[in-house]
Amino acid sequence: MPGRLEVSMTSTTPIAATARLLPTRGVQLGRGARMPLAAAGLAEHRARYGAVPAIRDARELAAVVDAAGVRGRGGAGFPTARKITAVAAGRRRPIVVVNACESEPASNKDAVLLRGATHLVLDGALIAARALRAPTVVVCLHRGDPVTAQLSAAMAERGGDGVDWRLAEVPRRYVASEASALARFLTDGEARPTARPPRPEQRGVRGRPTLIDNAETLAQLALAVRYGPDWYRAVGTRSDPGTALVTVSGCVARPGVYEIELGAPLSAAIGAAGGPAAPIGGTLVGGYGGTWVRDPGLPLSHDPAGPDGTTIGAGAIVALPADACGVTETARVLRFLAGESAGQCGPCAFGLPAVADDVARLAAGRVDADLAARLTRRLRQVNGRGACAHPTGAVRLARSMLRAFADDLRAHQAGRPCPPRPPVLPIPAPTMMERTWQ
């Protein structure tokens, strides 16, 4: 099919055959990492893809994107066409924001995409800006991101695009890349989420309608517009077409970033990373606001599946070795999430630390008679009540742990915790996270 990049592969699996965003099937990460992807310059990019397609207006863009079925790749899987339509309905001139902040500690997909296909991301942002008549495109990265220099150079090449390209460096905090937090940071310099409504599409940066899309979403948009809805829908599912980048790590032979067909089973993503390196006891899917999964046949898409409503989320997949403790790993993540609260609402500022304490007690086997009922009550009280989705994601993770590791939990509750093991899930060191929101 036209537009698919050449893929270097030794496998003939369906996953390998669907790669469309990156010029290689996967990118090895971790210790001894190699990064074979090198972003093409603008001239090479245009020689490969051609000129940026002309779109008359936002209505035409929304129609194409809707027909293709493009959904957000930042976590929620929200239909991209609906965002475009909402921004276009505003009365003031809009702004386009590229969310290239990668806050999920277990994810590296956006960094790999920006290294390997920088101009594809910028093409998507330019297509959206021209259709919406937005004069400014702001690309947001966390402060100190290694890809900053490369991205700045790519933006400098595009002086003839007719938009004002800007780069914004956002505090390195977990919730600072939430859409409303980015809009607030670009308005008054404070990267904390705001209560809803209105959404940024209605009133975002400096009160203007603002289209905030993840970097991969905009790369997908660029492909859908270039090659059309039929091409885009040639892979994936009816309700969630296309491919997605996933970061597969943990107990796999080749940890890395891989492109999979949406709707593929979890086992296929593990297989793309070389298969299990040892027996797997459970897999975290969707990032730290995601769910623990025991079913290797669970489909990976933005449509909820399984008993805990699992979605692909931010594309982070971590396979946990069978001899590791899912309760202990969850306790570590919940402590991190509690520490990354913006401190603006009770469920997050007080509820998350309380939940983290309860799960830490479970992990250590220090169980009191009221713990189970107390934890259940706190999870119910915190769920869905924050200014952003941060506390709800933590609740989702905790609830899935209770289900996925029920056998281990019974031993912990009887005072027999799992023996200590080296940690599996990556938790940023305190020195890597900023304490400021500005």
For the chain, domains (ranges, CATH) are: 18-232 (3.40.50.11540), 326-420 (1.20.1440.230)
CA 294 to chain CA centroid, Å, is: 21
DSSP 4: P
In angstroms, the CA 36 to CA 113 distance is 12
Contacts of 33 (CB under 8 A, 6+ apart): none
Alpha helices in 212-265, H assignment, sequence order: 215-232
Per-residue pLDDT at 167: 96
In angstroms, the CA 248 to CA 236 distance is 19
CA distances from 384 to 348, 387, 396 (A): 10, 9, 10
In angstroms, the CA 72 to CA 106 distance is 19
Say how many Å lie between the first and final Cα of the chain, rounded: 46
Q: Please answer whether residues 355 and 349 qualify as being in contact, where contact means their C-beta atoms are separated by less than 8 angstroms.
A: no
Q: Please answer whether residues 21 and 117 qualify as being in contact, where contact means their C-beta atoms are separated by less than 8 angstroms.
A: yes
CA distances from 347 to 32, 353, 373, 380, 436 (A): 41, 9, 18, 10, 21
Question: Can you give the pLDDT of all 438 residues of the chain as single tens digits?
Answer: 222 222 222 222 333 333 467 654 333 332 223 334 566 788 988 888 888 988 999 999 999 999 999 999 988 889 999 999 999 999 999 999 999 998 899 999 999 999 989 999 999 999 999 999 999 999 999 998 999 999 999 999 998 899 999 999 999 999 999 999 999 999 998 888 887 778 999 999 999 999 999 999 999 999 999 999 999 999 999 999 999 999 999 999 999 999 999 999 999 999 999 999 999 999 999 999 999 999 999 999 999 999 999 999 999 999 999 999 999 999 999 999 999 887 887 777 888 899 999 999 999 998 888 888 898 899 888 887 777 788 899 999 999 999 999 988 888 988 889 898 999 999 988 767 777 878
Helix (H, G, I), strand (E, B) or coil at 30: coil
Per-residue pLDDT at 238: 94
In angstroms, the CA 89 to CA 362 distance is 50
Per-residue pLDDT at 370: 87
- The 95-99 sheet, strands edge to edge: 164-170, 136-142, 95-99, 210-214
Per-residue pLDDT at 20: 66
pTM greater than 0.85: yes
Residue 100 backbone phi and psi in degrees, to 5 = -105, 15
In angstroms, the CA 130 to CA 110 distance is 23
In angstroms, the CA 358 to CA 349 distance is 15
Give the strand pairing for 95-99 and 136-142. Answer: parallel
Helix (H, G, I), strand (E, B) or coil at 365: coil
User: H or E element: which one contains 258?
Assistant: strand 256-261
CA distances from 405 to 214, 294, 380, 400, 402 (A): 32, 9, 20, 8, 6
Number of CB atoms found within 10 A of residue 265's CB: 15
DSSP 414: T
Give the residue from 282, 267, 272 showing the smallest Cα distance to 318: 282
Name the packing angle between helices 215-232 and 58-68 (round to 10°).
70
